[in-house]
Amino acid sequence: MSQFFTRLMFILALFIDFNLPVIAADSHANDPVRIGIMAFNEPDEVMANWQPTADWLSQQLHRPVQLMPLTPSQLDEALVKQSIDFLIGNALTTVAFKRNYGTSHLLTLVHNRVRSPEQSIGSAIVARIDSNLSQWDQLKDEKLVSSDPQAFGGFQIFAATMATKGINAYRDIPKLRFIGFPQQKLLQMVLSGEADIAVLPSCVLENALDKGLVPANKLKVVLKQPHPDFACEVSTQLYPGYALTKLGHTDHKLATQVVASLLQITPDTPAAQQGRYQYWSAPVDDSPVFELLKQLEQWPFVTNWQRLLHNALPWGTSLIFVLLLGYIHHLRVKRLVVKRTQALSDEITHHQHTQKILLEQQQQFYRAQRVLLTGEMASGIAHELKQPLAGIRYLTQGCLYRLDNTQAELATALNKVISQVDRAQTTIHRLRTFCQQTSDYQSCDLRTVIEETLTLMQPEFQRLKLSPKVNLQALPVFADASLMQQVLVNLLRNALDAMESIPQKSLFIDTGITGENVYIHITDAGCGLSDSALKRLFFPFETSKPQGLGLGMVICKRIIEEHKGKIEAHHANPGLTIKVTLPVNSQPGLGEQNDTALPRG
């Protein structure tokens, strides 16, 4: 009577405090209430037992109720996906899932075979009727079968009891196997001799006998512990039975409705009769469950490394992926460094080779220029000596004409003088002939010659930290490219020498075509020339350089004139501008080439 009064007061309190009519009008009234049922038997059997309870709830809540039989592994997946709102399972689930899923214990189920909901389930160790098992230590040598390591009455209570006796059920029983569900098949394995011992929840053997699933007097519960108020034989301590658990994401108003509806079930209600229970009770003391978890060394008494690993797995995977990307990037950078280092090494080798070739070309050019200067000097000296020698010969011949026959000795001496003069003239003619060679004319583009000359002069530009400004166009001419390069080098060297002591250095090379001529203008910002020096710029042996010979500009003028061109010099303020003009691809006659052949050494 007192229990009925307590339940009635609890229902009234729920109705008053939470206003059930308002809740029934919730906007989610059409959504099904999803209730997971821990299934240790066939799903059809579980549905048959619990469907009347679901129908009762649906009638009271005015909304559909969906039942979902779940094995332990399926339950874990459903919790992760939040595919259920409530769970009807053993008392262990409420405690074990509280940390990760925010479960709350709402009600406790009172079975038909129990008088106190605090003592509703235990583990039964079932053996054949002829078994002599009397000590827990003897289980180490037996072939044990159980349904699942997460089954509360089917294994967890058994394992905790073993732990109190100093036996680790996982490690110390080598012949232990987990068969799965339904649990009745474990009884058949013991009957057939495939297993010696079956670890089952309490009352499973009694229910199987009632249904005729196993023959009578063939199996028994061993290592029994006395529980006078419990209707079934059991081998362990008793714990609270099935409980209704709310998941953390479930609305508390809906939970209130469900609790109020279930508390109205009485033993005479079809839902209770079909489900083989008496009624639903307020939550009972579950401290023995915490003690069991402590014996099993499970959370909250030890770290749940499996769950911790599960939570850390995405972060760990991301970290590994980032590290892998970093390592791949490191390999890529390392490969690029090796590749670019090799390319740089090849570039340095190529640059050194180019520098060597350039140095050889410079040396060859300077040798050719010295030879050219030597030839020009020889030609100039021959030209200067030719006139005095001719005068000596003419005067000597005049003296011979004025001698008479009595002056034979003097005539002989004068004839010897004339002979030596002729000999000297012959030597000078041979020297001029040797120094004068025909130029090698070909069609060429002076732009290419200018570019090659700039490359040749690059070390001088770098020494003066000068970057010439150029305006190059195609300049088709018929010329001796080697001689034209000598002209350009000489003009550029003169420009650089003029800017040696000038702080603001600049050099501009402009090219183009005007009418039938091409032009090259070279302008520097050097010290320039006076008006008198500018007038005598193309005279032989005229120079402002301490070590100069004064033949460079003379050679340039003769080369340009051989090519039918003109060379001029003008003040640039500051500096000097040299203007070279040549005919566009005009081929000089063969005779003209020979008559104006330059001294080439």
pLDDT at 540 over 80: no
Half-sphere exposure of 526 (CA within 13 A, CB side): 25
Of 13-17, 27-31, 190-194, 532-536, the range with the highest mean pLDDT is 190-194
Distance CA 230, CA 241 (A): 12
pLDDT at 10 over 90: no
- Residue 470, SS3? strand
507-514 and 517-524 beta bridge pairing: antiparallel
- The Cα–Cα gap between 593 and 441 comes to 9
In Å, what is the CA distance from 168 to each residue of 165, 173, 198, 580?
9, 8, 17, 108
Q: What is the pLDDT of residues 440-467, one digit of tens each?
A: 788 999 999 999 889 888 888 888 889 9
Provide the whole-model pTM: 0.47
Residue 258 pLDDT grade (very low, low, confident, very high; cuts 50, 70, 90)? very high
Using DSSP, state whether 247 is helix, strand or coil. coil
Burial class (CB in 10 A: 0-12, 13-18, 19+), 544: middle
Pairing of strands 177-178, 144-146: parallel
Q: Is the pLDDT reported for residue 302 higher than 90?
A: no
Which domains are assigned to the chain? 28-116+241-302 (3.40.190.10), 123-221 (3.40.190.10), 308-431 (1.10.287.130), 439-583 (3.30.565.10)
Distances in Å between the Cα of 124 and the Cα atoms of 88, 108, 199, 205 are 22, 22, 6, 8
Work out whether the CA dihedral 375, 376, 378, 379 comes out positive or negative: positive
Virtual CA dihedral for 214, 220, 222, 226, nearest 10 degrees?
110
State how beta strands 65-70 and 33-38 pair: parallel
Most confident option among 111-120, 402-411, 474-483: 474-483
CA end-to-end distance (rounded Å), the chain: 141
Q: What pLDDT does 544 receive?
A: 67
The reported pLDDT for the residue numbered 376 is: 63
| Cα distance between residue 161 and residue 362, in whole Å | 101
Collect all residues with Cβ–Cβ distance below 8 Å to 501 and sequence separation of at least 6.
527
At residue 5, the pLDDT reads 46
Q: pLDDT tens digit string along 508-519?
A: 999 999 989 999
**Closest to 385 (Cα-Cα) out of 419, 437, 421:** 421
Residues 193-222: what's their mean pLDDT? 92
Provide the pairing of β-strand 517-524 with 576-583.
Answer: antiparallel
> Helix (H, G, I), strand (E, B), or coil: what is residue 174?
coil
Residue 597 predicted with pLDDT over 60:
no
Q: What is the CA radius of gyration of the chain?
A: 59
Mean pLDDT calculated for residue range 270-284: 90
User: Does 350 score more than 60 pLDDT?
Assistant: yes
- Average the pLDDT over each of 39-43, 88-92, 160-164, 510-514 and give the range with the smallest value: 39-43
